[in-house]
């Protein structure tokens, strides 16, 4: 018995964090800094900042296929191939379809990054705060349960993480897009500024701003302490940034946690389920399968943070069954995996602008012009609920030059050196409504290579999404034409949910344990030493990019967890 006790002691930590990405890295940093010996479990391989970015400094001609994917790769992996960031130089950071299958009851493009750092290596880095217009929306419109928190609860935590992350942008003074702690902004180019002025002059209540993004335009002391340096505006971010110019778990939170001496990072550790102690009525640890040997083992802790990314967090909790929780951990009402939502990216517009032919721009700016939501913000004004953000950019990257045409000779080569007309691309980022029907569940007969049930996705658009899409296409075209753009072409990509890579929900926060899974501190109502702080916790999805909110929620929850531990409440 004594030997067993010593063996268990070696597998015991103060806290366990499942997942090492955007939110998991923050959980690790905060818990370690606050004095807890913390184990971080990552199902994927080790990726060390600076050392494991093999294509970061390569030129196109140094890649075997000039950064194009071979046809067979695209054919074999059609889901991930649809992701905008998946190419020859980034493919090693993405999960291939055949490696980790799932069951699509309805089409869903599940984009995943299984490695230390997760999708923080390949995220789009756009960062906007929520306002009370988002936190109060479910109570106001009745499409989901009321959030148990408001903007005031999260505002200091937004500031806390922003200062560490490094956010470039302006203080725009907009009530529905609260200001962040910012570094100097990137600049709009001349055509974007022209459109900005025309929109402000002709459309009341619509604002064009430079997108706020997690890039160091002017590093401060805390960033230099992290070993990060200024963004080079290369826009090769999805390969991993050796400069640390953009924020990732690899470049910032995980090294910060490691330097405390309290971090144990264990890659190649596939989490099977969370263990529940029937006697103590709380979670006791995590069951793990070694990714390579398939050996099963258990680790123990007083606090567990679930940060495996939305769908995998749902999967782990659904698979964490016991006599107390036969439907999954904390799932007394059958709502686990339900009310999933995402962002509607289907609508876009393409136009040309004939002007400013003597002007160009500098570098490869890693952000775009943004328009915060202007529909149904202050009052209900359309026949659909909620609204959408708009992103647009203007460039002279080949429009009108015939780059797709073959040719030869000096005259053809000369045309390739001309900037061409200005091209304007505009897209929507729309809020979808959490619905009971949109869900994930476990397959009863199909398992993965680690003997874990495969996930079934059943998520779709609805009439509200279709109305929002059409509104954007009309309003976007009007704004572009009013700004002097020509040849405006609307487009509906008809892409499946998931390709936005903004899936959220399934383990939603709420005030009432009867209709939610988590309380205001991201604790499971029925198992309070388990915290869920990634996208799975979201009650609704807003229209802003979500990662900043995940990080703020995580930092807040980690501090609460440590306070509760000190009070012996966990």
Closest CA to 17 of 34, 41, 1: 41
- The domain limits of the chain are 13-167+247-342+435-458+501-570, 169-212+343-431+461-496
Q: Which residues, in sequence order, are CB contacts of 269 under 8 Å at separation 6+? A: 41, 42, 43, 288, 289, 290, 291
Q: Please give the share of the chain, as a percent, with pLDDT higher than 90.
A: 92
Asked if pLDDT for residue 74 goes beyond 60, the answer is yes
Asked if pLDDT for residue 2 goes beyond 70, the answer is no
Q: Please give the share of the chain, as a percent, with pLDDT higher than 70.
A: 97
Rounded Cα distance between 70 and 91, Å, is 12
Asked if pLDDT for residue 409 goes beyond 90, the answer is no
CB 486 within 8 A of CB 353: yes
CB 243 within 8 A of CB 230: yes
Write the DSSP string, 218-271: S--HHHHHTT---------GGG--TT--B--IIIIIHHHHHTTT-EEEE-SEEE
pLDDT on residue 399: 44
CATH of domain 13-167+247-342+435-458+501-570: 3.50.50.60
pLDDT tens per residue, range 269-297: 999 999 999 999 999 999 999 999 999 99
pLDDT tens per residue, range 411-454: 777 776 777 789 999 999 999 999 999 999 999 999 999 999 99
Count of CB atoms situated within 10 Å of the CB of 170: 14
Average pLDDT (46-58) is 97
Residue 402 confidence class, pLDDT cut points 50, 70, 90? very low
Q: b or e along 287-301 (b: 16 or more beta carbons within 10 Å of the residue's beta carbon)?
A: bbbebeeeeeeebbb
Closest CA to 424 of 356, 346, 334: 356
CA atoms within 13 A on the CB side of 330: 34
Q: CA dist 275 to 128, 280, 309, Å?
A: 36, 12, 19
């Amino acid at each position: 018995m004594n030997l067993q006790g010593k063996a268990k002691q070696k597998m015991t930590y103060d806290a366990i964090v499942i997942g090492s990405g955007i939110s998991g890295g923050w959980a690790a940093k905060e818990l370690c800094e606050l004095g807890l010996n913390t184990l971080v479990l990552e199902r994927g391989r080790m990726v060390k900042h600076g050392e494991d970015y093999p294509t970061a400094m390569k030129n196109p001609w140094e890649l075997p296929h000039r950064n194009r994917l071979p046809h067979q790769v695209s054919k074999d992996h059609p889901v991930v191939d649809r992701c905008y960031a998946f190419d020859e130089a980034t493919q090693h950071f993405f999960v291939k379809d055949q490696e980790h299958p799932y069951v699509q009851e309805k089409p869903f493009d599940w984009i995943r990054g299984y490695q230390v750092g997760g999708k923080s290596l390949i995220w789009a880095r756009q960062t906007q705060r929520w306002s009370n217009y988002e936190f109060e929306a479910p109570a106001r419109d009745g499409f989901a349960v009321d959030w148990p928190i408001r903007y005031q609860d999260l505002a200091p935590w937004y500031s806390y993480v922003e200062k560490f992350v490094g956010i470039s942008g302006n203080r725009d003074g907009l009530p529905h897009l609260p200001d962040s702690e910012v570094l100097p902004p990137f600049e709009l180019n001349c055509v974007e500024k022209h459109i900005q002025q025309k929109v402000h002059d002709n459309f009341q209540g619509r604002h064009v701003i430079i997108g706020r993004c997690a890039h160091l335009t002017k590093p401060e002391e805390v960033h230099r302490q992290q070993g990060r340096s200024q963004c080079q505006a290369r826009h090769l971010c999805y390969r991993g940034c050796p400069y640390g110019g953009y924020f990732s778990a690899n470049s910032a939170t995980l090294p910060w946690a490691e330097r405390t001496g309290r971090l144990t990072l264990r890659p190649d550790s596939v989490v099977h389920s969370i263990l529940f102690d029937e006697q103590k009525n709380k979670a006791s640890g995590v069951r793990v399968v070694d990714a390579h040997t398939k050996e099963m083992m258990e680790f123990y802790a007083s606090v567990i943070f679930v940060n495996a990314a939305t769908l995998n967090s749902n999967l782990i909790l659904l698979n964490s069954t016991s006599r107390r929780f036969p439907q999954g951990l904390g799932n007394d009402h059958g709502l686990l995996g339900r009310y999933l939502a995402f962002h509607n990216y289907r609508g876009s517009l393409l136009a040309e602008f004939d002007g400013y032919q003597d002007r160009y721009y500098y570098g490869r700016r890693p952000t775009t012009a943004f328009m915060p939501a202007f529909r149904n913000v202050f009052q209900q004004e359309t026949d659909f609920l909620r609204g959408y953000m708009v992103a647009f950019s203007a460039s002279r990257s080949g429009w009108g030059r015939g780059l797709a045409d073959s040719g030869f000779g000096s005259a053809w080569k000369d045309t390739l050196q001309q900037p061409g007309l200005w091209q304007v691309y505009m897209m929507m980022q729309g809020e979808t409504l959490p619905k009971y029907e949109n869900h994930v569940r476990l397959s009863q007969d199909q398992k993965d290579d680690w003997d874990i049930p495969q996930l079934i996705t059943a998520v779709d658009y609805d009439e509200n999404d279709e109305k929002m899409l059409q509104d954007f296409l009309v309003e976007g075209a009007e704004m572009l034409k009013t700004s002097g753009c020509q040849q405006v072409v609307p487009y509906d990509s008809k892409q499946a949910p998931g390709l936005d890579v903004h899936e959220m929900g399934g383990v939603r926060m709420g005030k009432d344990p009867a209709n939610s899974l988590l309380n205001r501190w991201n604790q499971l109502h029925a198992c309070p030493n388990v915290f869920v702080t990634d996208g799975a916790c979201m009650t609704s999805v807003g229209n802003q990019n979500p990662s900043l909110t995940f990080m703020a929620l995580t930092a807040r929850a980690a501090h609460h967890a440590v306070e509760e531990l000190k009070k012996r409440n966990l």
